[in-house]
Structure 1
Amino acid sequence: MSPIKSDPHPAAPLPDECQTMTDVRKGVDSLDRELVRLLVIRQGYMHAAARIKKTRDAVYDEARIEDVVAKVLTEAKAQGLSADIAEPVWRKLIERCIAHEFDEWDATKGRKTA
């Protein structure tokens, strides 16, 4: 049985309810739209961080990266998400968010990137 308790996209069937690949694709497409919406919000926090951080060196914080990954892995386990999916996805997400934050910091603090 699927660990999903409720469907945030009622037009798409839950995984256990899928009867066809069309059902599966409808569900995946619906979730992808929601993930994009959530990533836009996360990106907004990167913009806020770039605005708030006083120095460019503060953008990359190894301890914070490991803290985020640890929290994600705890939540992934609680929700039934494989750590083999969660950890590499979040590490890549963090990597790209840091790169974006550097770009934003440079843009808002007037520093040009090479």
Structure 2
Amino acid sequence: MPKDLKSMTAQSKSSPPPELGDLRHAIDGVDGALVALYAKRLGLVNQVLEVKKQYGLPASIPERVEEVIVRVRGEAERAGFLPDVAEKLWRLLIKEMIVYEEGHLK
């Protein structure tokens, strides 16, 4: 590797270009907004949990899970996001919320 290329590679590893830092900062902001939305979603899950307790409903209702997945895939596609990735994310989210609900329904 030429000496100049080595020094450029070493420099890029130690200090990223300014625009990369700006983009990372923007991504961090989106991540923060996502966490806030997940917290809001958890608040709604807690309300659902209370209703399920009242009516003796199970944590997992497979028909509802599939309904959510179909809706989320459609929303992802319309928003220009990857539907397969959205489905994977939501299946994980739903799975974890079911575990959470099961722990509170006992």
What's the RMSD between the two structures over aligned residues?
1.3
Structure 1: runs of 5+ lacking an equivalent: 1-18, 107-114
Letter in 1 for 2:96: R
* Rg larger for: 2
Q: What CA distance in whole angstroms lies between the structure 2 residues aligned with 1:49 and 1:59? A: 9
Q: Does 1:24 align with 2:35?
A: no
Q: Does 1:46 align with 2:45?
A: yes
C-alpha offsets along residues 37-92 of structure 1, whole Å, 9 cap, x if unaligned? 0001111111111111122x521100000000000001111110011321101110
Q: What CA distance in whole angstroms lies between the structure 1 residues aligned with 2:77 and 2:44? A: 25
Is this contact kept in 2: 1:73–1:83, CA < 8 A? Answer: yes
Q: What CA distance in whole angstroms lies between the structure 1 residues aligned with 2:59 and 2:84? A: 27
Residue in structure 1 matched with residue 94 of structure 2 by the alignment = 94
Residue in structure 2 matched with residue 61 of structure 1 by the alignment = 61
Q: What CA distance in whole angstroms lies between the structure 2 residues aligned with 1:69 and 1:21? A: 33
Percent identical residues: 30
| Structure whose residues are more often helix by fraction | 2
Normalised to the residue count of structure 1, the TM-score between the two structures is: 0.71
Question: Which 4+ runs in 1 deviate beyond 6 A?
Answer: none
C-alpha offsets along residues 3-59 of structure 1, whole Å, 9 cap, x if unaligned? xxxxxxxxxxxxxxxx7210121011101110110001111111111111122x521
Is this contact kept in 2: 1:59–1:102, CA < 8 A? Answer: yes
Q: What CA distance in whole angstroms lies between the structure 2 residues aligned with 1:30 and 1:63? A: 34
Letter in 2 for 1:94: I
Normalised to the residue count of structure 2, the TM-score between the two structures is: 0.76
Is this contact kept in 2: 1:46–1:100, CA < 8 A? Answer: no
